[in-house]
């Protein structure tokens, strides 16, 4: 049976951190994108009203 060495633990931990940070970045980008889309819609409505 293969025992987990310190290097293996660090590697798996690093990959977990990378995966989590990538997920957070994706979620953050999605939130920013939706907010920008809403702002653009409001601006278009204001321009149409004039």
Beta strand residue intervals within the chain, DSSP E: none
**Would you say residue 50 has pLDDT above 80?**
no
Handedness of CA 13, 16, 20, 21 (dihedral sign): positive
The pLDDT tens digits of the residues spanning 27-44 come to 999 999 999 999 999 999
Query: pLDDT tier at 1 (50, 70, 90 boundaries)?
Result: low
The DSSP symbol for 50 reads -
Locus of tokens 């995966």: 19
Report the Cα–Cα distance between both ends of the chain, in Å, rounded. 74
């Amino acid at each position: 049976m293969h025992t987990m060495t310190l290097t293996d633990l660090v590697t798996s931990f690093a990959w977990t951190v990378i995966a989590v940070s990538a997920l957070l970045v994706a979620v953050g980008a999605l939130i920013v994108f939706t907010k920008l889309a809403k702002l653009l819609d409001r601006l278009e409505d204001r321009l149409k009203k004039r």
